[in-house]
Amino acid sequence: MDLAAVVAPTSMADERTLPVAAALAPLLPGGGLVRGRTVACQGVASTSLAVALAVEATAAGGWLAVVDVPWLGVEAAGEMGIPLERLVRVEPGPERRKMWADLLAAVLDGFDLVVTRVPDGIGQGTLRRVRARVQARGAVLLTVGASGQDSGDVTMRTVTATWQGIADGHGHLRARRVCIEASGRRIPVLRRVEVWLPGPDGALAAGHDIGPAAERDPEPAPDMELRSAG
Amino acid sequence: MMTRRFVTVWCPDWPVAAAGLPADEPAIVVRANRVVARSAAAAAEGVVAGQRRRQAQQCCPDATLVEHDPARDARAFEPLVQVIGRFTPRVEMVEPGWACLDARGPSRYFGGDNALAERLMEGIGAVTTAAVGVGVADGRFAAAIAAHRCGGGPPTRRSPMVVAPRGSPEFLAPLPVACLRELGEADAELVGLFARLGLATLGDVAALPAADVLARFGPPGRHAHRLAGGTDDRPPAGSEPPPQRAVERVFDDPVAELGPLVFTGKQLADELVAGLSAEGCVCTRLVIVAETEEAERTERVWYRAAGMSAPAMVERLRWQLDGWLRALANPGPRGVGSRIEKVAGSRRSEVDGPVRHAGEERACGGRIEKVAGSRRSEVDGPVRHAGEERACGGRIEDGVVLLRLLPDEVRRDDGDQLGLWGGRSAADERAARAVTRLAGLVGDGGVLVPAWRGGRLPGERYDWVPASSTDLTDPDDTAERLRPRLAEPWPGTLPVPSPTVVPAAVRPAELIDAAGRPVGVGGRGELSAEPVALTIDGGRARPVTAWAGPWPLDERWWDAGRHRRLARFQVVTDDGAAHLVLAEHRRWWVAASYG
């Protein structure tokens, strides 16, 4: 065993990163989710973005806790690539604002990746405590939606979203082109990428085109859909 | 090597009996849409364990459906264990509804295997109306098979099945290899392979040379070969672990609640399993001991052929302590049937029930009569509650001061319980621990995991179930929970991508045409006009930039109560948001959004 590595007082930030999809890596300082940091996901596709950020790390064996985000679509998470066997949802119950920080502290003990939303009216002190906990545990906290005064170490915002495959009365939602902007303390210049979130198979996709041929001929055939089922 | 002789007591389809359902009426106990157990009447209609719920209901439409609850099974089995405990101090529990004991001592005392088995059956018959099978044979496996053969039918017409000493190989030889799977000794894959190779009976398997079986099928094959040959499942060599392996915790302050005890038990189990696995061992027989301040004591032996993981130990600890604490809290004639016990409990509760409720009733003032009336009319509900209250009361009086886990029998870990993709990672262990603690913080209903249910609308396809109801680190359990083996195609579902925002309830919405009127959908799915704007929850109207649909849905038209007829649309508004909009009962709803 390399003793130097064990006793070393510091470790570089990029040695402590959780992997992230290649298409999103340019947005993040360090090219991945650095342990101990908070990423705020905002904008029209915030839930998709938070899930997409968690995909690579959970696929590599990590567990994902979803705290106080009761609306998360399980099927969409599965399509994006989250292994559902390592997905746990935690609900704080009626005393949401009071429980949130304590609950998060307990969740951070067991999970490397936590998706949550910051309840309204949470004080700066509580947020600082939560952040310190995230740092101490070496987890990554992803917040969804407006996060109050706290913007996280990195703030990601989906600024534009354009759907493909749907028109007036025909086709169906197939893929969404989103432009994501990242800003934050460690990002001196606004970073921007355009990705398909979701792509045609439900997962994040890079690249400019999803294939125009498929776009002209949207599957599945409409009469399949129109059949009354049951 | 002499194979030890065992008596096995086995209640076929115990979960049905534990749920209080009579065997002569069709009843099915399900878990995750799979049949766990069924009553004899349902079995006669062709319902089998492992079947899908829908298939089972097809076979037997008027059956009562009950959700599976292992804790309830364990509680209801407690009186039977008390009875068996009168015959021997060492009852080995395998699972609720299945216990086993060493035949040698008791059999000599009671005058032979037959006499012992008859007396056991008689004793158990006095406390339960459920079907019971008693089997005596050399080796645990043969005894269990004998009990299975004997179980079924009304209690009056059954007699125990006793296999003569050294007669196990002949007894097992004509039985099909599927027996191995029924008792959980071999997985379906191995049994299927045996069958495909033309080894139809246990006798065929036993006739193979042991070395060849090991070479071809590995340790699981060797295990199956040993069982099929009627020799004891595990050679007893090294079965006595040194006593220092035992782990225990002494509480300075007596603990009276189940939650903290189970939590401590989890720590002990982790410690024990870590110690054993460091030596490459796995515990097959575990003794769980708990003592109270007043020297009340529970000691039970748990057996699991495949070896126990830490969660398996904790599960058994919970069963044992739950039953015991209840027994402590409700002192009285032990060893009576669950039904009788309940009645006795109700009589007692009537005495102190009104006292407890007096304060409330006084506070309610004019509503006293109503409350009293409702309590009298609902005989079953309040009775059970009263029992639980009493149980809580008892827990506080004398707490547990000692908890000990003693590995009674260990064997080398062949790794046969691990899947192809290896065991659990450190992250799995950590997450499972956190889940246990979180359940303590917010309750079982606050820590949820997804479970596949199936359906055509986004909110229907997955359910959130309490994490405590499944073993998160068990790959089989998880696979079962998330996808059935044969995933149904569900014709009529919307294509991928699925919506990411699926609120628990639909939100009222309005889809408006150019004239400002709500868009109407005809019976054949035609629209009255092009949608132009969408309003959600009475908010601001957003211009519609694109839309698609309708995808009509006419579900469960055969069931008046659950029939749904609706049309689905996808609507994109000018802010880039996309929604799944439903037209149902002439109104518009937003079911989900693509956030």
Average pLDDT over residues B180-190: 80
Contacts of A87 in chain B (CB under 8 A): 449-450
Output the pLDDT for position A98: 84
Q: Tell me: the pLDDT tens digits for A69-84?
A: 999 999 999 999 999 9
pLDDT at residue B19 is higher than 80: yes
Average pLDDT over residues A132-157: 83
pTM assigned to the model: 0.54
- Look-up of token digits 């007596």: B254
By CB atoms closer than 10 A (0-12, 13-18, 19+), residue A120 is exposed
Residues in contact with B23: Cβ distance below 8 Å, sequence separation at least 6, in sequence order: B13, B16, B17, B39, B40, B41, B129, B130, B131, B154
Give the pairing type, strands B578-584 and B462-466. Answer: unpaired
Output the pLDDT for position B234: 54
The whole-chain average pLDDT of chain B stands at 78
Q: What is the dihedral of CA A164, A166, A171, A177, to 10 degrees?
A: 20
Comparing A21-35, B292-306, B388-402, the range with the smallest average pLDDT is B388-402
- A25-31 contacts at long range (C-beta below 8 A, 24 or more positions apart): A26/A191, A26/A193, A27/A154, A27/A156, A27/A180, A27/A182, A27/A191, A27/A193, A28/A154, A28/A182, A29/A154, A29/A184, A29/A186, A29/A187
Contacts of B482 in chain A (CB under 8 A): 84-85
Neighbours of B181 (CB within 10 A): 18
Q: Which residue from B504, B557, B594 is facing A230, i.e. has the nearest CB?
A: B557
- Look-up of token digits 């599927």: B178
Q: Count the alpha carbons within 13 Å of B411 in the hemisphere toward its beta carbon.
A: 19
pLDDT at residue B166 is higher than 60: yes
Calculate how close chain B gets to A83, using CA atoms only, in Å.
10
Assign B236 a pLDDT band (cuts: 50, 70, 90): very low
Q: Count the alpha carbons within 13 Å of B190 in the hemisphere toward its beta carbon.
A: 24
Average pLDDT over residues B405-428: 64
pLDDT at residue B418 is higher than 60: no
pLDDT at residue B86 is higher than 90: no
CB B263 within 8 A of CB B440: yes
Sign (positive or negative) of CA dihedral B120, B125, B127, B130? positive
Output the pLDDT for position A89: 95
pLDDT at residue A212 is higher than 80: no
Sign (positive or negative) of CA dihedral B314, B317, B319, B321? negative
Q: Which percentage of chain B shows pLDDT scores above 90?
A: 11
Calculate how close chain A gets to B519, using CA atoms only, in Å.
13
Q: What span, in angstroms and rounded, lies between the C-alpha atoms of A144 and A49? A: 9
Contacts of A51 in chain B (CB under 8 A): 500
What is residue B352's three-state secondary structure? helix
Output the pLDDT for position B217: 86
Contacts of B449 in chain A (CB under 8 A): 87-89
Contacts of A46 in chain B (CB under 8 A): 595
Q: Tell how far CA A58 is from the center of its chain.
A: 11
Chain B interface, best mutation among A53, A219, A228, by max B CB count within 10 A: A228
Q: Which residue from A88, A166, A220 is facing B447, i.e. has the nearest CB?
A: A88
pLDDT at residue B137 is higher than 60: yes
pLDDT at residue B360 is higher than 60: no
- Per the model's pLDDT, the better-predicted residue between B20 and B387 turns out to be B20
Q: Which residue from B449, B478, B592 is facing A73, i.e. has the nearest CB?
A: B592
pLDDT at residue A1 is higher than 80: no
Output the pLDDT for position A12: 54
Q: Tell me: the pLDDT tens digits for B505-517?
A: 999 999 999 998 9
Q: Tell me: the pLDDT tens digits for B480-528?
A: 788 755 556 788 888 889 999 999 899 999 999 999 899 998 888 788 9
Calculate how close chain A gets to B418, using CA atoms only, in Å.
17
Q: What span, in angstroms and rounded, lies between the C-alpha atoms of B412 and B430? A: 26
Chain A interface, best mutation among B438, B447, B449, B500, by max A CB count within 10 A: B500
CB B141 within 8 A of CB B114: no
Q: Do A163 and B546 touch (CB under 8 A)?
A: yes
Tokens at residue A193, please? 């990428």
Q: Tell me: the pLDDT tens digits for A170-182?
A: 899 999 999 999 9
> Which of A173-187 are b and which e, b meaning 16 or more Cβ less than 10 Å from the residue's Cβ?
bbbbbbbbbbbbeeb
pLDDT at residue B109 is higher than 60: yes
Output the pLDDT for position B377: 35
- Look-up of token digits 């157990």: B37
Average pLDDT over residues B545-573: 89
How many contacts, defined by CB atoms under 8 Å, are there between A and B? 202
pLDDT at residue B259 is higher than 60: yes
What's the ipTM? Answer: 0.85
Q: Tell me: the pLDDT tens digits for B384-416?
A: 333 333 333 334 457 888 898 988 878 777 654
pLDDT at residue B419 is higher than 70: no
pLDDT at residue B327 is higher than 70: yes
Q: Which percentage of chain B shows pLDDT scores above 70?
A: 81
pLDDT at residue A164 is higher than 80: yes
Output the pLDDT for position B353: 35
pLDDT at residue A47 is higher than 70: yes
pLDDT at residue A229 is higher than 60: no
Q: What span, in angstroms and rounded, lies between the C-alpha atoms of A33 and B145? A: 55
By CB atoms closer than 10 A (0-12, 13-18, 19+), residue B93 is buried
Q: Which residue from B434, B497, B551 is facing A79, i.e. has the nearest CB?
A: B497
